[in-house]
Amino acid sequence: MDRRTALVTGAAHGIGRAVALRLAADGWAVLGVDLVPAGIPESCTTCAADLGTPEGCAAAIAAARAAGRLDLLVNNAGISEFRPLADATLDHWNRVLAVNLTAPFLLAQGLAPLLADAPGGGAIVNLASTRATMSEPGTEAYSATKGGIFALTHALAVSLGPEVRVNCISPGWIDTGKSGGLRPEDHAQHPAGRVGRPEDVAAMVAWLAGPEAGFVTGANFVLDGGMTRKMIYAE
Ligand SMILES: NC(=O)c1ccc[n+]([C@@H]2O[C@H](COP(=O)([O-])OP(=O)(O)OC[C@H]3O[C@@H](n4cnc5c(N)ncnc54)[C@H](O)[C@@H]3O)[C@@H](O)[C@H]2O)c1
């Protein structure tokens, strides 16, 4: 009860795993939630749940309540399933919305009282995406959820302040090992000179959760190595 405590969704892989590792290294007690929990770091308490269902969200909320204290909720779990518009079924749309947008809403709602009681004030960090503001073909469901996260974030910040600060991070290209081998040109297209790493996002989560970010709420932080600032003209 005397340690700062965080719940990180999607803590078994990629960005969520890096966030869980970073917070644990910083001394936080971390509750990691995942559909496939095998990869959740050993330093975390583990909760297996499908956050695409109300029951799964309720299980995660119950696990956090059992811990008795919550300072930080990181709504990270997400599915990046893209489909051509003509092939995008209602089931596909509903599943992407359930995991990427409804779960962050249900977790924020269910955990708000616990977060409001956190000794130094609570914080929520949501994972949006640069795809909230730009698109490739066939990304309707995913992009809609990330635009929704952007809006949900400022709505929650207004509803839950001043006890709880709520912000979102919009990563660009973060290599979680799913991209295959990265080419020199993949790095070079970023003004920062490289593709992003999960640890880049973890560092921003750690800052947003800490006392130096006490005046920061309702904000979206683009973390993309400058990729969305670079104009591209086809040859
Ligand atoms: N990697 C990127 O380039 C990138 C860019 C922008 C935004 N994001 C966002 O960051 C977040 C993490 O992305 P990532 O690339 O690390 O993803 P990832 O696929 O590497 O990991 C996602 C984790 O979420 C878990 N998960 C998926 N569905 C779940 C469910 N129904 N219930 C519980 N857990 C579930 C998975 O098992 C996995 O461990 C996502 O919200 C994603 O949209 C990622």
Ligand 1 atom nearest the C-alpha of 128 is: 7
Closest Cα to atom 1, ligand 1: which residue?
174
**Which atom of ligand 1 approaches the CA of 13 most closely?**
39
With 0-12 / 13-18 / 19 or more C-beta atoms within 10 angstroms meaning exposed / middle / buried, residue 72 is: buried
Ligand 1 site residues (CB inside 6 A) read 10, 12-16, 34-36, 49-52, 76-80, 99, 127, 129, 171, 173-174, 176
Q: Give the Cα separation of 121 and 210 in Å (integer).
A: 10
| Distance between Cα 199 and ligand 1 center (Å) | 14
If one residue of 9, 35, 99, 102 were mutated to test the ligand 1 pocket, choosing by the most ligand atoms within 8 A of its CB, it would be: 35
Gap from CA of 90 to ligand 1 centroid (Å): 21
Count of beta carbons in the 10 Å neighbourhood of residue 229:
11
Q: pLDDT, tens digit, for every residue of 78-134? A: 999 999 999 999 999 999 999 999 999 999 999 999 999 999 999 999 999 999 999
Is 112 strand, coil or helix?
Answer: helix
Residue 183 CA, ligand 1 centroid: distance in Å = 23
Q: What are the tens digits of pLDDT across the range 39-84?
A: 999 999 999 999 999 999 999 999 999 999 999 999 999 999 999 9
Contact 76, 7 (CB under 8 A): no
Residue to mutate (ligand 1; options 51, 73, 80; most atoms within 8 A of CB): 80
Atom of ligand 1 nearest to the CA of 51: 32
Residue 180: per-residue pLDDT = 83
Asked whether residue 1 carries a pLDDT value surpassing 80, the answer given is no
How far apart are the C-alpha atoms of 122 and 70, rounded to whole Å?
Answer: 7
pLDDT at 159 (0 to 100):
98
Q: What ligand 1 atom has the least distance to the C-alpha of 131?
A: 6
The pLDDT tens digits of the residues spanning 157-209 come to: 999 999 999 999 999 999 999 878 999 999 999 999 999 999 999 999 999 99
Cβ proximity of 136 and 163 under 8 Å: no
Residues catalogued as catalytic:
142
CATH of domain 5-229: 3.40.50.720
Q: How far is the CA of 127 from the centre of ligand 1 (A)?
A: 9
Average pLDDT over residues 19-29: 98
Nearest in space to 50 (alpha carbons), one of 12, 91, 82: 12
At residue 223, the pLDDT reads 98
pLDDT grade, residue 225 (50/70/90)?
very high
The pLDDT of residue 26: 98
What's the gap in Å between 3 CA and the centre of ligand 1? 26
